Amino acid sequence: MDAEDPVHDVFRSDRLWQQPTLFTDPDAYESSLFAPLQLDVSSIKFDHPYAPKHDLDHELRLPDLDTFEFGPLPHLDSLDESSISIETPALESEEDVWQAAFELGPANKDILFHTWESFEKGQHVASPSPYITEQGPETFDAALANDEGKICPGSVLKGDVLLQSLWNLGLGRSSILFHFSPKLKTFEPAVQHGRASGLSLRAAQSIITHFIHTGNTFLYLRSFAERTFASAASIPAKVALATSVSSILSSLEDTLGKQSATISSLIQLQHRFAKPRDILVHVARMVDAVKYAKTNEQLSSILHHRLLELEEGDENLRQLSSQVLCQVARPSLELLGEWMGIKKEQATVPIWQLNSFVAVEDASAEPASLECTYRSEMMPRFISTEDGNTIFETGNSLRFLKTQHPEHPLARLDGLAVQPPDLEWGFGWRDIEILADKAKAYEERLRRTLLEFSKRSFASPFTTRSVPVPIAGTQTETQDLEQYFKDSIRVMDAPPTWPQQSLPNELQLLLENILDTTKGDNDTASNTFSPPLSLASSLSFRPLITAQTKLVNAATVRLFFRSHQLRLHLSLQRQYHLLGDGVFSSLLATALFDPDRESAERHKGKMRSGVQMGLQLGSRTSWPPASSELRLALRGVLSESYYSSALYHSTQSTGTLSLTNTLVNGRDNDELPGQLNFAIRNLSEEEQEKVMDPDALHALDFLRLQYVAPTPLNLIITSTALEKYDYIFKFLLRLLRMLFVVSHLPRDYADVGSRQLRSEAYHFVATLANYVFQTGIAEHWNDFDSFVATVEIRLNEEDAAGELGVRVTEGIASLRDAHEKCLDSILFALLLRKRQRKIMALVEEIFDLILLFAKMQSSDMQQGEESVPTLYAKLRGKIRVFLGVCRGLTGKQGYGKGKGTAEENSMERLVVAMEMNGYFAGS
């Protein structure tokens, strides 16, 4: 396109910023539609005094800054004279605005309301309304009667009678127009198709149905309360719920009864029953939800769950449900308080017989030696898991004080001057802070009482008899006994009065506040700052639970260490069940396996000496030994090792045990701590068959160490822990036999295979035994022993500083859990857990091959079925598989961390020890 072309190419950008040719200045032409405005001020006459007198240019001009001057300033008064008056003017008499308003009358009395027709035409007469509902109820009733063929008109009832009958119906009462049908279990109208004047039959029936449902709900709740009170099998929580329901119904009747005289219309009646109906329906749903609850804890848990559903719901219903829950949960909280020691026990039977959260395995045992177990499913759901465990352990420790130290202040709530507070609910932050302050004050008072008691006990440690506490006023009451009886007779003869305080005040006041018609909805709901409902229980109960637990733990742990020799009995388990005493291990191995000892087996015509005898396992064919052989062989093994051990001498130096005869031979019949002795293990038929073979690995499985934890040490050394000790001891007894066997194998062999088999068998057993005793047992036990020693050191520091429950917060549960964890770690390191059975089966197969090789060394077993090369090949194959499994477990992620534990995977140490000197490097 040519550049001179007047038509510009729209796709080019060289003229992008040029002004368009069609754009022209609007001032360049005159508009043909609107003429320009000509404002001539001089030609326009204005009557306003401030109107401009000249043209706008003259009026709007700016002043000349060079010639502009202000006018003369006004004369100022002298500064010496004060221009401010300090005199207060006299007040005029106030006008009574209320009297003036009364005299003037209504504000709109002179205002006339007009329609457009009457405004335009003064004599206009308004035409009647075409809507029949605006002509009054009589016209509406007549229209319904005239149209009877299409719509049923119904029977018109008297207004005042209908209002009174509906009011009674809403309260679940029969009246002239409505009566209750026991057959149908609902209210029925006495007049069919009755209605109010001015209402259609359908609208009237809707209102009547609404009130029938309210009345049925009222009767249902009243029937629930009466049936609960009349039943002898009702649980306390259900009785508390029925009491709350009865209180709600009584409050509703009282409040609605006061408002009945002011009701003059159906709409007003519906408005008065709106909130009560919501309350009744909500309470009825609560009653339906707990219909099948069998225990106090289950019922209160259901109501707590219903309360959580109202977290973001109606504030009034939430507050009402909270108060009902406080009443219903009281029996469960009282039981918790009795178990924890903050409330006097009221039950005539032990708590474990109440189908509660406490149970015992063997109820026939002595009360002092009962081991209580925790049933978490019976704990109320509003109690958190952590708080539930704490409550149970605190009560378990307190039961130890009551049975073993009845003179202790914590065991005597009646004689204790410090009265603990109750477990109470708090749903607002202010209430929770008050509960926390109460718990803190109680903790300080109880701490001072316990410190005073400990000082008196330290001053007279041999005084265990409790001092009777005198009851104040006993003598006065005895002297005034006659006057007391006279007063009682006068009270009984007086006419009965209705106690206003018999109903829960909280519910009554709350309902009065909710149903108060003078307050709005925003005023009725208490918008207090409160925590989430799910945390209200923990925030309310935990301060008191923590305070009680802290001081109970401090008292019980001291008694366990200083009065019941806890360290002695724990060291006893390490020394014997875990073969921690070398003297005991040596004596036991000699008595069981030494072929050079005199045999305890009975032989015809041969007299047994009874001194230095043994079972000679591995050198005899008859097995198992008789009970008399066991007594002769194992006689003195325990007593000789115990009375010569450092453990016994440490107890003598501290004076915890009385001095006895120093001769070891004279102590064979002495009873060791915990009745420690050898015993026969109960075996199944399959296990009994394995025990019959003296050359089998299971030949000594019948032998066990019997230990009974003295009361109250059974709370820490539990029956479960003793079973674990027994399981470990059975394995260690097998390992002790294997050490004895490989140590007594001949060193010189004619063939190379036997020498290699003997060397590798000895290395395997010795390395495994070193791992078991050094890594599997010693390390874990040392950690546990350090924990116990630390607790004891902190106890001494607290006593020196005059403190209680400040540095030591651990209780019986902490010691028991640490003990159980130590045993579980030892079982895991020794490959004795259930999930390690296959690994232990490989170890047992290796042991069986070594025992078979030892059996082949006797002269009469040289021509066995198994040859040495074949046996050696099997042994190397089993060891190769075992090491392969161990190598795989060393790098397995998560191994040893099952079921919430965190056990150390120490397999790598065993593998390194096996392969260090090249014995199994090629395996």
pLDDT of 554 higher than 60: yes
> Can you read off the two tokens belonging to residue 21?
């040719």
Domain shared by 739 and 838, yes or no: no
pLDDT of 100 higher than 50: yes
884 within a domain of the structure (yes/no): yes
pLDDT of 456 higher than 50: yes
Taking the model in full, what pTM does it have?
0.73
pLDDT of 366 reads: 73
338 within a domain of the structure (yes/no): no
Domain shared by 680 and 795, yes or no: no
Task: Answer with the residue of higher pLDDT: 96 or 669.
Answer: 96
pLDDT of 505 reads: 66
Domain shared by 688 and 801, yes or no: no
pLDDT of 602 reads: 66
pLDDT of 145 reads: 75
Strands 358-360 and 372-374: antiparallel
pLDDT of 262 reads: 84
328 within a domain of the structure (yes/no): no
4 within a domain of the structure (yes/no): no
pLDDT of 603 reads: 60
662 falls in which pLDDT band (50, 70, 90)? very low
pLDDT of 111 reads: 61
Lowest mean pLDDT among 153-167, 514-528, 606-620, 780-794: 514-528
651 falls in which pLDDT band (50, 70, 90)? confident
pLDDT of 248 reads: 93
180 lies in which domain range? Answer: 137-292
pLDDT of 439 higher than 90: yes
pLDDT of 236 reads: 93
Strands 613-614 and 598-599: parallel
| Mean pLDDT over each residue of the chain, to the nearest integer | 81
730 falls in which pLDDT band (50, 70, 90)? very high
Last residue of a domain, one of 721, 744, 767: 744
70 within a domain of the structure (yes/no): no
595 falls in which pLDDT band (50, 70, 90)? confident
50 falls in which pLDDT band (50, 70, 90)? low
Nearest to 882 by CA among 923, 842, 834: 842
Rounded mean pLDDT of 729-740?
A: 95
Question: What is the C-alpha separation between 477 and 480, in angstroms, rounded?
Answer: 5
Highest mean pLDDT among 175-179, 260-264, 310-314, 497-501: 175-179
10 Å Cβ neighbour count for 706? 14
pLDDT of 290 reads: 93
End-to-end alpha carbon distance in the chain? 95
Rounded mean pLDDT of 772-789?
A: 94
902 falls in which pLDDT band (50, 70, 90)? very low
pLDDT of 675 higher than 50: yes
pLDDT of 873 higher than 80: yes
72 falls in which pLDDT band (50, 70, 90)? low
215 within a domain of the structure (yes/no): yes
Q: Which long-range contacts (CB under 8 A, 24 or more apart) does 622-629 make?
A: 622/694, 623/691, 623/692, 623/693, 623/694, 623/699, 624/691, 624/692, 624/699, 624/702, 625/600, 625/601, 626/602, 627/680, 628/600, 628/602, 629/600, 629/601, 629/602
pLDDT of 86 higher than 60: no
Question: What is the C-alpha separation between 61 and 649, in angstroms, rounded?
Answer: 120
Reported as type and span, the H/E element at residue 373 is strand 372-374
835 falls in which pLDDT band (50, 70, 90)? confident
How confident is the model over 495-537, as pLDDT tens digits?
A: 665 444 444 468 888 888 888 766 655 554 445 678 999 999 9
Domain shared by 594 and 619, yes or no: yes
Domain shared by 674 and 764, yes or no: no
DSSP class per residue in 560-625: HHHTS-HHHHHHHIIIIIT---HHHHHHHHHHHH-TTSEE-S--TT-----SSEE--TTS-SS-SP
> Can you list the alpha helix ranges (DSSP code H) found in 495-532?
505-514, 521-524
Amino acid at 308: L
Last residue of a domain, one of 728, 744, 760: 744
Domain shared by 620 and 727, yes or no: yes
Task: Answer with the residue of higher pLDDT: 213 or 485.
Answer: 213
Rounded mean pLDDT of 21-31?
A: 56
Question: What is the C-alpha separation between 34 and 340, in angstroms, rounded?
Answer: 98
Distances (CA, A) of 274 to 73, 199, 295, 409: 75, 20, 34, 55
Rounded mean pLDDT of 298-303?
A: 95
Task: Answer with the residue of higher pLDDT: 72 or 600.
Answer: 600
Domain shared by 269 and 195, yes or no: yes
Domain shared by 876 and 890, yes or no: yes
Question: What is the C-alpha separation between 828 and 629, in angstroms, rounded?
Answer: 35
Domain shared by 758 and 713, yes or no: no
- Residue percentage of the chain with pLDDT more than 90: 41
Rounded mean pLDDT of 319-331?
A: 94
Task: Answer with the residue of higher pLDDT: 184 or 666.
Answer: 184
16 falls in which pLDDT band (50, 70, 90)? low
How confident is the model over 762-777, as pLDDT tens digits?
A: 999 999 999 999 999 9
Domain shared by 283 and 166, yes or no: yes
- Residue percentage of the chain with pLDDT more than 70: 75
> Can you read off the two tokens belonging to residue 677?
């002795």
Instruction: Give the chain's domain count.
Output: 3
Domain shared by 640 and 764, yes or no: no
465 falls in which pLDDT band (50, 70, 90)? very low
1 falls in which pLDDT band (50, 70, 90)? very low
Compute the chain's Rg from CA coordinates. Answer: 49
677 within a domain of the structure (yes/no): yes
pLDDT of 157 reads: 84
Last residue of a domain, one of 270, 292, 314: 292
10 Å Cβ neighbour count for 443? 20
100 within a domain of the structure (yes/no): no
Domain shared by 795 and 813, yes or no: yes
How confident is the model over 171-189, as pLDDT tens digits?
A: 999 999 999 999 988 999 8
Task: Answer with the residue of higher pLDDT: 69 or 86.
Answer: 69
274 falls in which pLDDT band (50, 70, 90)? very high
